[in-house]
A and B are shown apart, each in its own frame.
Chain A
């Protein structure tokens, strides 16, 4: 990874200590490289992150295809320390480098009819050994409502710990949506499409009862196979046998995001 100079944004600093770089880069869910947690760190080397282009189209006034260098220059790079809560019940604290996705979306000028944003990840079996399996109907797709995508918290991310993203963490560009379960934050993005209909998203297609479209972190809505009321902090300073910590509503970002869901029954629209 190369150095990526970013200015810390004082608005987004987590109280909790950051998870070690080693843990952030060796414990990943990135099924394009295998279903094991250590598979991405072992097999992501084969990913070609340059040249790389991202196409933004659909319901926008100015559709465009940008290469990664142009994308890097759209807005000043910020460092933001976010909590990351996985739907599996573990969490990390990660210093990401990027800028608000809204900066890019404003550039392409969404049409009034655009209601959702779909993210499509790369799916090349030549570079990604996991794509040969049929665990997921490739390519991996995720989506957000337009207001969620425009929320200042939603980060278009190019790096972590002040360096370009390690391949296993979704290089060269990914989304980070800190108030939703981790799988909502699509990695290695090649396409961003604005749509009127709610996009079909990968995990929701596989198991709709387990993974809703919204998938907001919510301690009061259980996963069918486990409770979401608590989480295990990876690399907890209190040691291996540290008790689990309480999961917060919207992963602790309620102040910034709760207003987007007023009037919605989050038990039904999980």
Chain B
């Protein structure tokens, strides 16, 4: 089952490689791969955040077992997104990169999201989980902040073009997923599980 999730999460990368080899990335390939990796990082973030509500609703442990891998794939696509920007947009000019990070709010938010993902990726091992104990839980709640900064990054990127249709949908999904963490909503979600339990 885990292998299936792994292969599915690799599909966006497979697609980019396939399109690249067949010269089908369009007139502006750099823009295409930048946007594609950014979009997939966000999609995987949404899927990762959906695991807890799905566990609450179904009571099945499968969802939580896939969560680590999905979270790492979120980091993987965010890393690609960041590296493409650093290499092909900034040409590894660190001074120019810092200038942009400090001056442009949309880049600030994207950069912050990426930086916050790093400790989560590093402490994703079972060993770190055991070592950190309760602190691990607290640390990994950072993902809620990252979800917000990622949406702001996307929102500000689109705002100047007045083209907010798609980002509004993502924002709504993120708000819904975060709302599932509120105790009130959380309790409601577990009620769905009641029929499953009674059947046993």
Contacts and interface: CB of A to CB of B under 8 A. Distances in A.
A171 to B, nearest CB: 19
A210 B26 contact: no
Given A135-B163, A207-B162, A232-B28, 9 more contacts: A26-B26, A26-B27, A27-B28, A35-B165, A90-B31, A225-B106, A227-B96, A232-B31, A244-B91
B45 to A, nearest CB: 22
Contacts of B119: none
13 contacts: A23-B27, A27-B26, A27-B27, A37-B26, A37-B27, A135-B161, A135-B163, A206-B160, A207-B159, A222-B103, A227-B96, A232-B28, A244-B89
Contacts of A38: 26
Q: For chain A, what secondary structure do more than half of its interface residues adopt (helix, strand, loop), or is it mixed?
A: loop
Interface string B22-48: 000111111100000000000000000
A235 B161 contact: no
A249 interface: no
Interface in B85-106: 88-89, 91, 96, 100, 103-104, 106
Size band of the interface chain A makes with B: 20 to 34
A215 to B, nearest CB: 13
Contact of B162 (A135, A224, A235, A243): A135
A38 B32 CA distance: 12
B55 interface: no
Contacts of B104: 224-226
A210 B31 contact: no
Interface in B58-98: 88-89, 91, 96
B160 A235 contact: no
A225 B162 contact: no
B193 interface: no
Interface string A236-249: 00001101100000
Nearest to B27: A27
Interface residues of B, number: 25
B160 A207 contact: yes
Interface in A192-238: 206-207, 210, 222, 224-227, 232, 234-235
Interface in A26-47: 26-27, 35, 37-38
Contacts of B163: 35, 135
B88 A241 contact: yes
A136 B162 contact: yes
Contacts of B20: 240
Interface string B98-139: 001001101100000000000000000000000000000000
B21 to A, nearest CB: 12
